[in-house]
Each structure stands twice: as structure tokens, then as C-alpha cells.
């Protein structure tokens, strides 16, 4: 069974640009989560989507947004990029709203110059 | 953002030794998860705990959900070189919905 996949693996942008990151959950999983992991730091919760709806968001500015598609894949958009947005962005999925076991993808390394 | 306190921050041990690490919080958690992350990769779920006092094993790994619900422990027995990586605890509060709060990580190095 395929795990969570993310694309692209690496993304280089300049300050002020927009970045779009993509995630495909494990087959059968309906919930998708996004986390930011800055270099040397732990994971910070960004967003949670389930059944196409945003269910919860972490303490991040509105320029971090996303959506979930009918096939449960998800996009994370980061507008007006700032240097401190450089980080590993991790997507995770879980079987259902009632499942707390989240399975992670390999991440997208975003570098803002 | 909120993070759990994890200790030790790093460990350097000899192959074959046992390892213990823990995670503490000032808040009560209803779920504890332990993950391992290799460099440049996403975290891999090792063990999930759902009840206070619960003790769960996964091969050489054993984790416990503290009875106060404010801490959790992970033990690795007879360590091997492939145990090298960063171990994260993660917890979910009763009001946190699906949001996981992650620990600061324990970096484990194993010398052959």
C-alpha cells in the first residue's frame, strides 16, 4: 500500500512569491494535516482538512492556506513568502476523524531566498 | 506554538545498550504517539497510546502512557545502529481535536 506522497521534493522561491505544495493521502484516509518543521525545530501544526473542509488551523497567518479536493488530496498555499517560511513542510493523513494516528509523507523542503 | 518538553535532548550510546527518553507536559493528554524521523524524511509512527497507564511494545520499543496523563516514556532495548535518528513524542489534548502537539525531539546516536 502506497504511503503519503508529497510534491515537489524541493522548492526554491524568492521572497514575495507564492508557493504551492501538494499531498496525496494514503488510500482510504479522509483527513489531511499540514505541519511546518523549521530547521532544528519540532513540528508545528498548520492546518487540518477533512471531507473537503478546513477543520482547524494552527497559529499561522492567513497567507498560509489550503484546500482539500474530492479525492482527498490536498494543496498548501503560502502567499507573500518570507525568509522565515523556509522549512520542511510535512503532510500527514489519518483514516478518519476518529483516528488520531497520523502517517506522514516525506515532506517538501521549501527554501525562500 | 505549544510544544512538549522532551528529554534528553540528545544521547550518544554504544550498540547493545538500552535507551530511555521521556516527554512531559503541564496539560493533560488523551493520546500519546511516538515517532522516529530520519534526516530529510517524514516522521514514522512507532507506537500509539490511548489510556493512562497503558504499556505498549513494538519489537524492541516499549512506550508507556503516564498515569498522570501528563507524561509518556519510550524505551529502546538492545540498541542497534539503525536506531539512529530523532525521536519525537506527540500528544493530543481533550480539546485539541485532531491537532497533535509535538515534543522538541531526542536525537539518538548509536556507536557500533
A74-108 pLDDT per residue, tens: 999 999 999 999 999 999 999 876 677 899 999 99
pLDDT tens-digit readout, B52-64? 999 999 999 999 9
Residues of chain B found within 8 Å of residue A100, distances taken between Cβ atoms: 31, 33, 48, 50, 92, 98, 100
Q: Give the contacts of B23 (CB within 8 A, at least 6 positions apart).
A: B4, B5, B6, B32, B71, B72, B73, B74, B89, B91, B103
**Nine-digit cell string for A70:** 474530492
> What's the distance, CA B48 to chain centroid?
10
Mean pLDDT of chain A: 93
Whether the predicted pLDDT of B68 surpasses 90: yes
Tell me the average pLDDT across B98-103.
84
pLDDT band for position B95 (50/70/90)? confident
Whether the predicted pLDDT of B1 surpasses 60: no
Beta bridge partners of A13: A112
B99 neighbors B76 (Cβ within 8 angstroms): no
Mean pLDDT of chain B: 92
- Chain B interface test: which of A42, A44, A54, A94 (most B C-beta within 10 Å): A42
DSSP letter for B1, please: -
Tell me the average pLDDT across A29-38.
94
Tell me the average pLDDT across A8-30.
97
Beta bridge partners of B90: B33, B102
Whether the predicted pLDDT of B43 surpasses 90: yes
Cis bond upstream, residue A8 (ω within 30): yes
Amino acid at each position: 500500500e502506497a504511503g503519503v506522497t508529497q510534491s515537489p521534493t524541493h522548492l526554491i522561491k524568492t521572497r514575495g512569491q507564492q508557493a504551492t505544495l501538494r499531498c496525496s493521502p494514503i488510500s482510504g484516509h479522509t483527513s489531511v494535516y499540514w505541519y511546518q518543521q523549521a530547521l532544528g525545530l519540532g513540528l508545528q501544526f498548520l492546518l487540518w482538512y477533512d471531507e473537503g473542509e478546513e477543520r482547524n488551523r494552527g497559529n499561522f497567518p492567513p497567507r498560509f492556506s489550503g484546500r482539500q479536493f474530492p479525492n482527498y488530496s490536498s494543496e498548501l498555499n503560502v502567499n507573500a513568502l518570507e525568509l522565515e517560511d523556509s522549512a520542511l513542510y510535512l503532510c500527514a493523513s489519518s483514516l478518519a476523524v476518529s483516528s488520531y494516528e497520523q502517517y506522514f509523507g516525506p515532506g517538501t523542503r521549501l527554501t525562500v531566498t | 506554538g505549544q510544544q512538549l518538553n522532551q528529554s534528553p535532548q540528545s544521547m550518544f550510546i554504544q550498540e547493545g545498550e538500552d535507551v530511555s527518553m521521556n516527554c512531559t507536559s503541564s496539560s493533560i493528554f488523551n493520546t500519546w504517539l511516538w515517532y522516529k524521523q530520519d534526516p530529510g524524511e517524514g516522521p514514522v509512527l512507532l507506537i500509539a497510546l490511548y489510556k493512562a497507564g497503558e504499556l505498549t511494545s513494538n519489537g524492541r520499543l516499549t512506550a508507556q502512557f503516564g498515569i498522570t496523563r501528563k507524561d509518556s516514556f519510550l524505551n529502546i532495548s538492545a540498541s542497534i545502529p539503525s536506531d539512529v535518528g530523532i525521536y519525537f513524542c506527540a500528544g493530543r489534548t481533550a480539546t485539541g481535536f485532531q491537532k497533535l502537539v509535538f515534543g522538541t525531539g531526542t536525537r539518538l546516536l548509536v556507536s557500533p
